[in-house]
Chains A and B, each alone.
Chain A
Amino acid sequence: MNIFFQNVIAGLETGSLYALAALGLVLIFRTTDVINFAQGEMAMFCSFIGFKLFTSLGLPYPVAFIVTIIFAVLFGFIIEKYVIRSVNKASVVSKMIVTLGLIMVISGLATALFGIDSHYLRKAITLDNLNIGGVVIQPNAIFIILVTIVIMSVLFYMIRKTLFGIAIRATAQNETTAKLMGIPVNRITSSSWIIATVLGAIAGLLIAPTTNVSTTMMGEIHLKSFIAAVVGGFGSFLGPVVGGFLIGILDNLVGYYITLKWKTVIVYGLLIVVLIFKPTGLFGKIHRKKV
């Protein structure tokens, strides 16, 4: 039983990171209909910035973390304003291809600036493991889960209760009418890119101790965050979060109890099963957006 709980906590830990990344994807998708395939690379780039601030500049870890987030704000703003908005008149599919191109641009840039080596970055919390009734828990795992819950709560409060959040949802449902009501749709789009980039950067920094900082570090998280978003439902904000936790836990349980070799295949199988019975995802509604 202890092993089971350890696996669940480890699942919540990685699941948190899937959830953060998935929420970023969904936020951009809901406001602009675009899926940002470069989300993982953008997070990787931010992680390198954090790593450099921490090692080369020798900033204390928390300061490096916060400066990285500030960088992510600027990074998201610049990518939206100068790349995505400049192809505003192109179709949604073309814009998605543009984000595919961004993968190459950003990973090329990262290789040129930071090299191809992979580097260790410390955990956010480096205290000794806790032992609660035989269940061994890493304080860092608790930290990651708590950070995710806090970020989610703030985001959900914002989306549900504030006028800004109502404007985001209105834009997601009907962009033209949102404009007619005086909502500055450009600013909403820009904000969703900024928030998504910050979420990705946080996920990147927190996964770095496990994957190391390298140009390919986000590969698995990025893919799993897509699955989380689809399983939970691209049409809702809560779905991807639940999907992220679900996949994280399943990943660990399947890996431990059944087979490590086939765990990815089984988790992908889950995606297919969910889509057969619930084509819009667990929490999804049919997404109808008028432009």
Chain B
Amino acid sequence: MRIALLGFGSVGQGIARALREKDLGISITGIADSRSGLIAPGGIDIDAALAQKRELGYCGDPSVRPMDVALLAEYDALVEVTPTDVITGEPALTHIRAALGRGRHVVTSNKGPIALAYDDLIAEAESRHVSLRYEATVCGAIPIIHALQEGLAGNRVKRLSGVLNGTCNYILTRMSDEGLTYEQALMEARELGYAEADPTYDVKGIDAAIKLVILANTILHMDKALDDVQITGIDLLTPDALRLAEEQEMTIRLIGEIIPDEDILRVSPRIIGKAHPLVVEGTLNAVTVDTDMAGEITFIGKGAGSVETASAIIGDLLFIRDRYVTGT
């Protein structure tokens, strides 16, 4: 199986390394980052690309653009792992459309296109008899999409609730454990690389809300946009509030929640018992789905990270290979 890899940051490099180390029968015939691209029908020299990225800051030939790779490289599946833009979905949306237009499978970790245009994209994929998979968009390494689409197929989801943002969970864990203020915990998260320089997207609950939109639209057949989610972030929480919760053996976590029957999509800090399965530590993610046949099932795992996201991407690639791709 041949793939083209668009996006060569932490996630893209993680995928390249994993494919180099594991003998999965997947070769990379095209790569690109925002400044350069490389097309090699016989397979890219991954070590050389990683070394160049490290030395020069870009991985290929500056005259080759990502769209050239999407349109011209020979591949079975496009792996789209460029940074997310939740307003426009670009440039990922154009890359994905180009690949689907060529009748190629697409695997992405990019939340923008899936949250904004899933119905269009999946219709296009179906008309071309190819697959569009996006496990890595929600909860990193936790195979929640696979679980809901395959493992729990036929179940009705009564409620889904979860800790969907590792940055917020880290901040709340530290405020709770050490009595830090929100500002102190955020600063610490930044130093450790858990929070972006501009943390708005995470701490205001937007990232978690987009994940809810993806789950609602792609799994629960709801038709939702980001504006349909009631969102409250964690930036106004006080250490006193956490202490008041603590006095009753409770704590506070940012919870994303979907109740399909009541048409509710909601992200907000919630008081939750310390022994509740969704109370996970640090940057972990956790999701509980309550279904009619299987009852309640909780998944806990790493929600972000280079190798963890690669795990989700590679799972999707192998799923596609086993069902669609014949030959090499």
Decide if A and B are genuine partners: no
Show the binding face of A for B, using Cβ within 8 Å.
none
